[in-house]
Amino acid sequence: MVEGIVSFSDWQKLDLKTAEILEVEDIDKADKLYKLKIDLGTETITLVAGLKPYYNKQELEGKRVIVFTNLKPKTIKGIESKGMILAVSNSDKSEVKLLQTDGVVELGCKVS
C-alpha cells in the first residue's frame, strides 16, 4: 500500500457522528483546552479539545459538530477524553473552524 493512503475498509472503521456541544468548561492550568460535554443523541460523552484560542465558551455551547467517537480514550489534564471534534485549519493554525453539517440533522447520525 502507498504510504499515507487509507483503504476503504480502514475508513469504514471510523465512527464519525453528528453531535451537539452541551457544556464548555475551562480546565485548570490549560491555556488552550476546554472540557466539553457532547450530546450524541443516544449518549453523552466528555472530551477535551484545544479550541480555546479560536472560540469562547458561548460560541461553542449549542454548536452542532462532527465527532470521531471510536477514538481510543485518552486522559488529558486528568480528564478522560472519549472522542475528538473534527475541525479544519490553515497551514499555520491561526484559523480553526469546526466541521458542521449542511443543514440540521439528528444528533448521532453517522457521517459517511
Residue type, 105: V
Q: In total, how many domains does the chain have? A: 1
Using CA atoms, how far apart are residues 30 and 106, in angstroms rounded to an integer? 32
CATH number at residue 91: 2.40.50.140
pLDDT at 95 over 80: yes
Band of pLDDT at residue 4, cut at 50, 70 and 90: confident
Segment 37-62 shows an average pLDDT of: 98
In a domain, 3, yes or no: no
Q: Would the pLDDT of 75 be above 60? A: yes
pLDDT of residue 27: 97
The amino acid at 25: E
Give the range of the structural domain holding residue 91, as residue numbers without chain letter. Answer: 16-98
> What does the alpha-carbon distance between residue 21 and residue 91 come to, in Å, rounded to a whole number?
26
In a domain, 1, yes or no: no
| Residues ≥6 apart with Cβ < 8 Å to 30 | 52, 77
Report whether pLDDT(3) > 90.
Answer: no
* pLDDT mean over 28-50: 97
- Residues 66-93 have a mean pLDDT of 97
pLDDT on residue 72: 97
pLDDT given for residue 1 in this prediction: 55
Instruction: Work out the mean pLDDT of the chain and round it to a whole number.
Output: 96
CB 5 within 8 A of CB 92: no
Q: What does pTM read for this prediction?
A: 0.92
